[in-house]
Amino acid sequence: MKSAVVVFPGSNCDRDAATALEQATGHAPVMVWHGDTDFPEVDLIVLPGGFSYGDYLRAGAMAAQSPVVRTVIERANKGVYVLGICNGFQVLTETGLLPGALMRNANLKFVCRTVNLKVENTETPFTGGYDREQVIQIPVAHHDGNYFTDPETHKKLVQEGRIAFRYCADESIETDVGGNPNGSLDNIAGLFNENRNVLGMMPHPERVAEAAHGGTDGAAMFAHLANSLS
């Protein structure tokens, strides 16, 4: 699998994403600067976490207008896989590649902790490495992760099985967690586009991809992508 990681001014999770991809594929992804309008053909494009443009105006709003994003949209529409993590998810909703919006956390706090995620749809290259309804532990670190969309779109997402992950409280697992960290609608932590080739998620799988991280639940995402896409 060939992959690329887009770097905006203010992105700060690009290196971790690149490390996780290199670990899964055996070679480094190409790093693409936001000002470039072209980059090599790849199987997976990652929009990493961070504070692109300082979150000025709205998180992800100005990054979504970057030259490179026009190319990302074209490729996504042709079926190239795109993974937006945290700020990357915000960029994806600002472009319209994913519906809805990520708003300020309902409790107004920047939340930085491990959460439980229930994997709702395992029939995609992103999530095929998990079992249906498996609960995984992934860290979040965000101020604007409160997912919102209108009722009709929400109904569509549910009917079409496009919700990828929901926050959940799992009392059987003893970690510092507890349900929904940001008030997002229907506990939505990540969702797919109609074609299921674009995934946006607020939690950071690249931060639990190797034993030294203190958790490895994110590794299965990158490993399955590497095995599925080429």
| Positions in 88-107 near other proteins (CB under 8 A) | 93-94, 99-101, 103-107
Catalytic residue selected from 13, 34, 168, 206: 206
- In whole angstroms, give the CA distance from residue 200 to residue 94: 12
Backbone phi and psi for residue 128, each to the nearest 5 degrees, phi listed first: -65, -10
- DSSP annotation of 216: -
Question: Could you say whether residue 10 binds other proteins (CB under 8 A)?
Answer: no
Q: How far is the CB of 49 from other proteins (least distance, A)?
A: 19
Give 142 or 224: the residue with its C-beta nearer to other proteins: 142
Closest contact distance (angstroms) between CB of 106 and other proteins is 5
| 11 versus 93: smaller Cβ distance to other proteins | 93
Residue 15: how many other CB atoms lie within 10 Å: 14
User: How far is Cα 105 from Cα 84, in angstroms, rounded to an integer?
Assistant: 19
CA-closest candidate to residue 34, choices 6, 70, 15, 54 = 6
Residue choice 25, 149, 187, 197 for contact with other proteins (CB under 8 A) = 149
In the complex, minimum distance from the CB of residue 107 to other proteins, in angstroms, rounded to a whole number: 7
- Among residues 195, 230, 164, the alpha carbon closest in space to that of 77 is found at 195
CA angle 88, 202, 119 (to 5 degrees): 125
Nearer to other proteins among residue 105 and residue 197 (C-beta): 105
Interface positions with other proteins (CB under 8 A): 57-58, 61-62, 65, 93-94, 99-101, 103-108, 146, 148-149, 183
